[in-house]
Amino acid sequence: MISTVARGRPPAIPARSSSATSGLTTSTRLKTSVLMASSAKVQALVALLVASLAAQAVALPLSSKRQSISALSQSEIATFTPYTHYASAGYCKPATTLAWNCGANCQANPSFVPVASGGDSVVTQFWFVGYDPTLGEVIVSHQGTDPDEILPLLEDADIILEALDPSLFPGVSSSAHVHSGFAGSQSRSASEVLAAVQTALSKFGASKITVTGHSLGAAIGLIDSVFLHLQFPKAAIKFVGYGLPRVGNQEFANYVDSLPISVSHINNKEDLVPILPGRFLGFHHTSGEIHIQDSGAWLSCPGQDNTSDECIVGDVPNIFEGDTSFHDGPYNGVEIGC
């Protein structure tokens, strides 16, 4: 668990190691936490569950939950695969993504032309920017982190929601708040990412930008998508995130939904991370959920936090129903990690 984050520059969020990890099961994690936690922390965990269950009592009517839930075709699922590899490559060291020799993830998108990369995986998450001539898009990818490292950031009842930095997000309402740690992570690479995207747009004459990432990288990527839209309002911007936690409050979710940004956040089976931080803490998902079923089918779930049991909120109604072993995939056969 983390303590209350002071306003201003948030502490660095620990980065995931470059090798894929499986993590402990949720049940093991919770048992260990309960044995070691103080009584105050145990009470906080119980309160988290109670509030999570209470939130289900105000679920949408079945007709609303089921409205327009539809299965993606195999050809539609396949269109996400290049972005899955780009998100996975976000875990690779900057030297390898700049040379585009990061192994299977780089080989999956062989025509990619890297422009810049950065981050140190300690203070600033890895990132890279380049151009995909096959897709005709500038690609931005951000490194994520291990489930073991991100869960304390998402479960702590002291999580702070803060307004976006007006110097980076001019004109955005001060009522649109985001997780302070996610905002800090995005801000630390914002200027370098912006310069690299500008270079790529100019060099390749591109007009499309796709931002991708997994876990923490997806959270950074969603905020980055808004940032880049404000900087390049004429560009067609798309966000594709995997295992995305809730990033901001209702006003932020509504604001993102109001923008001409194509948003897809893909959740794998009973992954725990996408239901955190809890709605009772004021967090809400944007629209654009795609939920991978146990059968392997991909379903498009309309609206924000759709509570159908075919979507993540209904499938994982509380923290005890989730399992972080699903967090890294597979996403159409791709396991996330470098």
H/E run at residue 113? strand 113-118
Q: Is residue 241 one of the residues assigned to a domain?
A: yes
The CATH number of the domain holding residue 61 is 3.40.50.1820
Rg value, the chain, Cα: 19
Query: Could you tell me the CA-to-CA distances from 46 to 43, 54, 318 in Å, in that order?
Result: 5, 12, 11
Cα separation of the two ends of the chain:
27
Contact 239, 210 (CB under 8 A): yes
pLDDT at 158: 55
Q: Is residue 65 one of the residues assigned to a domain?
A: yes
- CB within 8 A of 46, min separation 6: which ones? none
Q: Is residue 331 one of the residues assigned to a domain?
A: no
Question: What SS3 class is residue 82?
Answer: helix
Closest CA to 24 of 164, 146, 145: 146
In degrees, to the nearest 5, what angle opens at C-alpha 99 toward C-alphas 98 and 104? 100
Q: Is residue 1 one of the residues assigned to a domain?
A: no
pLDDT at 48: 41
Domain assignment of residue 88, given as a range: 26-326
State pLDDT tens for residues 317-326: 999 999 999 9
State pLDDT tens for residues 157-184: 558 999 999 999 999 999 999 999 999 9
Report the b/e string of 33-64 with b at 16+ CB within 10 A.
Answer: beeeeeeeeeebbeebeeebeebeeebbeeee
Contact 238, 208 (CB under 8 A): yes
In degrees, to the nearest 5, what angle opens at C-alpha 289 toward C-alphas 178 and 276? 45
Quote the distance between the C-alpha of residue 25 and its chain's center: 20
pTM above 0.75, yes or no: yes
Q: Is residue 21 one of the residues assigned to a domain?
A: no
DSSP string for 249-309: -HHHHHHHHHSSEEEEEEEETT-SGGG-S-GGGT-BPPS-EEEE-TTS-EEEE-SSS--ST
Overall number of domains in the chain: 1
Q: Is residue 185 one of the residues assigned to a domain?
A: yes
| pLDDT tens, residue order, the chain (338 aa) | 333 333 333 334 444 444 433 333 333 333 333 333 333 333 333 344 334 434 443 444 443 445 689 999 999 999 999 999 999 999 999 999 999 999 999 999 999 999 999 999 988 999 999 999 999 999 999 999 877 777 656 655 558 999 999 999 999 999 999 999 999 999 999 999 999 999 999 999 999 999 999 999 999 999 999 999 999 999 999 999 999 999 999 999 999 999 999 999 999 999 999 999 999 999 999 999 999 999 999 999 999 999 999 999 999 999 999 999 999 999 999 999 99
Q: Is residue 335 one of the residues assigned to a domain?
A: no
- Specify the length of the chain in residues: 338
Closest CA to 125 of 105, 101, 146, 153: 146
pLDDT at 55: 42
| Sign (positive or negative) of CA dihedral 322, 325, 330, 331 | positive
pLDDT at 149: 72
